[in-house]
Amino acid sequence: MRPALAPIRHGGDLQAAVRRYGRPAAEWLDLSTGINPAGYPAPPIPPEAWQRLPEDDDGLADIAAHAFGAQQALPVAGSQAAIRTLPQLLARGRVGVAALGYSEYAPAFAAAGHDVVLLGESDFAQPSLADGLDHLVVVNPNNPTGRLLPPQALLGWHATLATRRGTLLVDEAFIDCMPEHSVAAHSSLAGLVVLRSLGKFYGLAGVRCGFVLGERMLLDALHERLGHWTVSGPARVVARAALADTGWQGANRERLAAWGERLSALLRRHGLAPVMQPLFCWVPHEDAARLHDALARHGIWTRRFDAAGACPPGLRLGLPPDSPRAWRHLETALADVVRA
């Protein structure tokens, strides 16, 4: 019997908060996603990007491969397009997916006929995790728990899976702040697939542009399945600029690290125990539902997660905008909620 899969939910659903609590959208501090609040400044879009069909040979694939340290890359309409399609290209088998993690993977593999094995957090500390699996999905760092695995652990699991022609799929949506943990440089190995995107580190979620890094045969098969023009012309213009701007990337890493430390310190001062990543933090809390509701009543929208995979319930908080008003709003709300 296949395990019951949790419903797919995502952050960024601010209108749901508006309807539920009756507070206008302009009065909310939305921390429900891990999107950079000070994202890449999109360049002007030339008229031909709107008027012509997108061109696959515009250099974006090569720029992305260079930026991520990979041999080749396939641009797609956000990593979501790959998540829904890749399971259809892999031989059906047992697929390990974190019980508390990004909620799109388990349904996508189940819909493609795979048997989904839900993994607890402690499983990811086991060198033998890949034993008995045909494929394994690892979000690194994990969303929402912040678990960060070293490349050698991932490559060890890949080696195990490769003996049975299995696949390790590594989602690196949040890895840009710490590229030394990426396995993108190894993505040309058979059975290793890496996903990257512009949504989080670059703060360009609305562009809907992501990249699949893998061996050429798999990328060609995925391109054939997705068809032409999956990434729009304007999105390709923005993506080329962002991925080539190494100066902005370096400054952004420093900025996000400082903001992450500031958020972590603020939460600790109010008695919480965050697990911090530069773009978001995970706050395990046995009374997460009450905490989520209390913050919402102060105009702070967070993402709540139920207990799963032997993890307690908790909240995920993204970074506030870099403004005194936003940080003051969060600090005042936390003080009131904790005091209550």
Strand order in the sheet with 167-171: 74-76, 210-213, 192-197, 167-171, 135-139, 94-98, 115-119
Domain membership of residue 8 (yes or no) is no
Q: Would you give the DSSP letter of residue 58?
A: S
Give me the domain span that covers residue 108: 47-244
- Final residue belonging to a domain, choices 244, 273, 304: 244
* The predicted structure's pLDDT at residue 11: 65
* pLDDT score, position 1: 38
- pLDDT at residue 5, as a whole number: 57
In a domain, 276, yes or no: yes
Whether residues 261 and 218 fall in one domain: no
Residue 176: give its domain's CATH number.
Answer: 3.40.640.10
CATH number at residue 24: 3.90.1150.10
Same domain for 30 and 92, yes or no, is no
For each of the chain's 340 residues, which pLDDT tens digit applies?
A: 344 555 566 666 899 999 999 999 999 999 999 999 999 999 999 999 999 999 999 999 999 999 999 999 999 999 999 999 999 999 999 999 999 999 999 999 999 999 999 999 999 999 999 999 999 999 999 999 999 999 999 999 999 999 999 999 999 999 999 999 999 999 999 999 999 999 999 999 999 999 999 999 999 999 999 999 999 999 999 999 999 999 999 999 999 999 999 999 999 999 999 999 999 999 999 999 999 999 999 999 999 999 999 999 999 999 999 999 999 999 999 999 988 7
Report if residue 3 sits inside a domain.
no
Residue 2 lies in a domain: no
Question: Which neighbouring-strand residues pair with 139?
Answer: 171
Tokens of 22: 């009756």
Q: Are residues 223 and 253 in the same domain?
A: no
pTM (predicted TM-score): 0.95
Q: How many domains does the chain have?
A: 2
Q: Do 106 and 178 fall into the same domain?
A: yes
**pLDDT value at position 94?**
98
Instruction: Tell me: do 130 and 269 sit in the same domain.
Output: no
> Which of 224, 244, 264 delimits the end of a domain?
244
pLDDT for the residue 340: 75
- Residue 338: what pLDDT? 84
Shared-domain flag, residues 91 and 167: yes
Domain boundary among the residues 209, 244, 279 is at 244
Considering the domain architecture, whether residues 83 and 177 belong to the same structural domain is answered as yes
Strands in 303-305's sheet, in edge-to-edge order, are 275-277, 280-284, 314-318, 303-305
Contact 33, 11 (CB under 8 A): yes
What's 308's DSSP letter?
B
Residues 62 and 85 in one domain: yes
Are 270 and 310 found together in one domain?
Answer: yes
